[in-house]
């Protein structure tokens, strides 16, 4: 009888530990055992080597407008895209090399506008980063996704993938963030805590790689009622089989 009780207790403990709880997968939790992250001011993205920008020049001069339009048609394959070279410059038609590495989009736009007005007095320039993408790998729907708004948060980014799988390790989410030609920065954080809001982990930037590893204990856990019921059934069958072979 003692052996039977031990077996039954062991199976019950195993079953109870085989389900995902809110503590394990819930977001924005307020618990003393979770990390507390300091608030950090949002920093706008600064252009890096190998980034690509697109721009458009607006002028009332019809002759210049036609020249710009013809140049755009000749380069339509590149969709107005210009890469930032290793020396931090882009090479634009008519104005030549302009160093924009380290500038924000608005700062780069103002600089290009200033250079354009040296040859087109009424020029207005609209400039934007072309490669506004982030990449997700791991226990999510992996892929490359476009940043569709300014100040995109980690929650908005992951929602585009269909959320983290239950087996994903929410305690050790990693963001690998390149910094030009230097070493990339690796940010690791627990996404379950509510203090992640407005922290340095909260916003997603162009070229970020978000990695969600698989939790080691996920092999023994069930994420659906169907799987849990199947586990109970197989466990009870095992218990009955074992009891039948144990002499009373």
Q: Does one domain contain both 103 and 175? A: no
144 and 211 share one domain: yes
Q: Is 112 exposed, middle or buried (0-12, 13-18, 19+ CB in 10 A)?
A: buried
Indicate left, alpha or beta for 9 from its phi (over 0: left) and psi (-120 to 50: alpha): alpha
Residue 18: φ, ψ to 5°: -100, 10
The CATH number linked to 74 is 3.30.1950.10
**Domain stop point among 107, 129, 151:** 129
Q: Quick check: 239 and 8 in contact, CB under 8 A?
A: yes
Distance CA 162, CA 148 (A): 16
* 151 plus 216 within the same structural domain: yes
The total number of structural domains in the chain stands at 3
57 and 178 together in one domain: no
Residues 116 and 86 in one domain: yes
Asked whether residue 68 falls in the same domain as residue 89, the answer is yes
Residue range of the domain that includes 58: 52-129
Digit-coded pLDDT (tens) for 52-106: 999 988 888 887 777 776 665 444 433 468 999 999 999 998 889 999 999 999 9
Q: Are strands 209-212 and 96-99 parallel, antiparallel or unpaired?
A: unpaired
Residues 189 and 109 occupy one common structural domain:
no
Are 122 and 182 part of one and the same domain?
no
Entry pTM: 0.76
206 and 228 together in one domain: no
Residues 74, 93, single domain; the answer is yes
Per-residue pLDDT, 21: 75
Count of beta carbons in the 10 Å neighbourhood of residue 232: 14
Domain C-terminal end among 108, 129, 150 = 129
For residue 132, is it left (φ>0), alpha (ψ between -120 and 50) or beta?
beta
Same domain as 203, residue 88 = no
Residues 33 and 152 in one domain: yes
Residues in contact with 166: Cβ distance below 8 Å, sequence separation at least 6, in sequence order? 20, 25, 218, 221, 223
User: Can you read off the two tokens belonging to residue 194?
Assistant: 């509510």
Parallel, antiparallel, or unpaired: how do β-strands 133-138 and 124-129 relate?
unpaired
Buried b (16+ CB within 10 A) or exposed e, 166-185: bbbbbbebbbbbbebeeeee
pLDDT for 25: 85
Measured between alpha carbons, how far is residue 210 from residues 69, 99, 161, 213 in Å? Answer: 39, 30, 11, 10
Distances (CA, A) of 200 to 40, 43, 90, 153, 209: 5, 9, 30, 11, 15
CATH classification at residue 151: 3.10.560.10
Would you write out the chain's pLDDT as a tens digit for each of its 248 residues? 555 555 445 545 444 455 657 788 888 999 999 999 999 999 999 999 999 999 988 888 887 777 776 665 444 433 468 999 999 999 998 889 999 999 999 999 999 999 999 999 999 999 999 999 999 999 999 999 999 998 999 999 999 998 899 889 999 999 999 988 889 999 999 999 999 999 999 999 999 999 999 987 644 444 454 554 555 555 556 555 655 655 55
User: Residue 23: its pLDDT value, please?
Assistant: 85
Among 167, 16, 179, smallest CA distance to 102 is for 179
């Amino acid at each position: 009888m003692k052996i039977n009780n031990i077996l039954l207790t062991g199976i019950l403990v195993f079953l109870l530990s085989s389900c995902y709880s809110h503590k394990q997968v819930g977001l924005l939790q307020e618990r003393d055992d979770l990390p507390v992250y300091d608030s950090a001011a949002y920093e706008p993205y600064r252009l890096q080597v190998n980034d690509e920008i697109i721009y458009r020049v607006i002028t009332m001069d019809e002759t210049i407008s036609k020249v710009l339009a013809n140049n755009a048609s000749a380069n339509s394959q590149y969709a107005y895209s210009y890469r930032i070279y290793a020396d931090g410059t882009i090479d634009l038609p008519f104005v030549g090399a302009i160093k924009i590495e380290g500038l924000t989009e608005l700062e780069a736009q103002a600089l290009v506008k200033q250079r354009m007005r040296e040859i087109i007095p009424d020029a207005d320039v609209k400039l934007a980063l072309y490669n506004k993408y982030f990449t997700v790998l791991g226990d999510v729907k992996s892929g490359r996704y476009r940043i569709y708004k300014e100040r995109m948060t980690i929650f908005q980014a992951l929602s585009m993938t269909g959320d983290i799988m239950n087996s994903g390790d929410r305690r050790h989410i990693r963001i690998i963030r390149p910094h030009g030609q230097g070493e990339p920065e690796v940010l690791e954080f627990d996404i379950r805590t509510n203090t992640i809001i407005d922290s340095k982990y909260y916003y997603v930037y162009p070229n970020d790689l978000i990695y969600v590893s698989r939790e080691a204990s996920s092999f023994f856990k069930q994420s659906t009622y169907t799987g849990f019921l199947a586990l109970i059934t197989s466990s009870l069958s095992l218990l009955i089989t074992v009891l039948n072979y144990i002499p009373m």
